[in-house]
């Protein structure tokens, strides 16, 4: 008897990831790949490269609200497709060190764009309250 795996007869489901930078895109694609394996086709776009293609897939993962707003503003996002807007979080392995800093300590916060930096500052202030 011959066994046929469903992936042999079905087209692979696809996920398209859109991020602001190439580095973020690569990191997030690698994280997605670790979760879904090779049974799902993953492609990516970064605003660093300029996006001219209309983005449509079985699932679209956007790295931030800003990314989604930019795509919608340029009419490049399939609004009928399933979408997830990622919510970045703080690496909890180091959160206690950050929150434990004495009040008034000057720190340098580095992030990819101003909007996500401001969101992270807001999140950190919430952790302190």
For the segment 63-106, what is each residue's pLDDT rounded down to a tens digit? 988 899 999 999 999 999 999 998 776 666 777 787 788 888 88
47 or 87, which is more confident?
Answer: 47
What CA–CA distances, in Å, run from 118 to 1, 27, 34, 113? 60, 21, 29, 9
Q: Which residues contact 126 (CB under 8 A, 6 or more apart)?
A: none
* Architecture of the 6-85 domain: 3-Layer(aba) Sandwich (3.40)
pLDDT in tens, 9-23: 456 799 999 998 898
pTM: 0.71
Which residues are 83's β-sheet partners?
60
List every span in the chain annotated with CATH 3.40.50: 6-85
Does residue 56 contact residue 78 with C-beta atoms inside 8 Å? yes
């Amino acid at each position: 008897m011959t066994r046929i795996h469903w992936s042999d007869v079905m087209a692979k489901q696809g996920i398209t990831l859109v991020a602001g930078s190439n580095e973020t895109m690569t990191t997030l694609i690698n994280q997605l790949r670790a979760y879904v394996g090779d049974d799902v086709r993953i492609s990516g776009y970064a605003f660093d490269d300029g996006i001219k293609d209309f983005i449509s897939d079985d699932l679209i993962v956007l790295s931030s609200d800003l990314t989604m707003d930019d795509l919608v503003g340029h009419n490049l996002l399939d609004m009928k497709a399933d979408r997830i807007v990622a919510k970045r979080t703080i690496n909890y392995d180091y959160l206690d060190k950050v929150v434990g800093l004495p009040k008034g300590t000057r720190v340098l916060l580095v992030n990819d764009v101003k909007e996500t930096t401001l969101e992270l500052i807001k999140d950190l202030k919430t952790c302190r309250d």
